[in-house]
Amino acid sequence: DTEVTQTPKHLVMGMTNKKSLKCEQHMGHRAMYWYKQKAKKPPELMFVYSYEKLSINESVPSRFSPECPNSSLLNLHLHALQPEDSALYLCASSPEGQLSGANVLTFGAGSRLTVL
Amino acid sequence: GENVEQHPSTLSVQEGDSAVIKCTYSDSASNYFPWYKQELGKGPQLIIDIRSNVGEKKDQRIAVTLNKTAKHFSLHITETQPEDSAVYFCAASEGTGNQFYFGTGTSLTVIP
């Protein structure tokens, strides 16, 4: 299994809603990432979990709350979002801690979020 | 920190022609350079990568070259096909770290 699976594919929410994005990988990767991507722009890093611990938070507003329940799962909890948060949210994973070779990043298909 | 520049931002080629996309980076500590292809409505897909101990790498119609001295690397697609139409992103990283610095993307259109 060489996939990163994200659900839901599409999500529409109001500014007062609470929702979650989910990500799963079964490649044995020990690092998992959340990226935000606006149309025609490169992915922007939000969070990195390494060995299930938050290792990077790129000064993301607290209305985005990541969670890593185990080494295969990554969630992004959403609350009180703004319309400008509408974007494609990409999950990715990488092997981490390899003795040789680069830390290769594998992306999921993304969750398209629309905030009304 | 690292700064990755990518050119051109848009590229149109006739089917069967070659396409070249160029990236430059600023941090000499970067030693891993992946290229991603992103089709409409999908996530970025790794198509080829190169490490700093290699100058060129090929995979069928796709090749990547790296010039460490000049700090630039390029993606070459030969015999382009309509299904090559997509946005291509270059990236740079320190290899074992979690920071990947992306270029701004190139929208490639292959005209049948």
Nearest to A105 among B41, B100, B104 (CB): B100
In the prediction, which pLDDT does A98 show?
57
Cα A71 from Cα A49, distance rounded (Å): 9
pLDDT digits (tens, 9 = 90+) for A78-101: 999 999 999 999 999 998 765 556
Contacts with B46 from chain A: Cβ below 8 Å:
104-107
- Selected for mutation to probe chain A from B9, B93, B100 (highest A CB count within 10 Å) is B100
**Cβ(A31)–Cβ(A93) under 8 Å?**
yes
Q: Which residue of A has its CA nearest to B89?
A: A42
Three-state secondary-structure class, residue A110: coil
User: What are the per-10-residue average pLDDT scores of chain A (116 residues)?
Assistant: 89 94 94 95 96 94 96 96 96 78 87 96
Alpha helices in A40-90 (DSSP H): none
CB contact (8 A) between residue A102 and residue B44: no
Contacts with A31 from chain B: Cβ below 8 Å:
98
Residue B106, pLDDT > 90, answer yes
Three-state secondary-structure class, residue B60: coil
Stretch B19-38: mean pLDDT: 96
Could you tell me the two tokens for B50? 């190169």
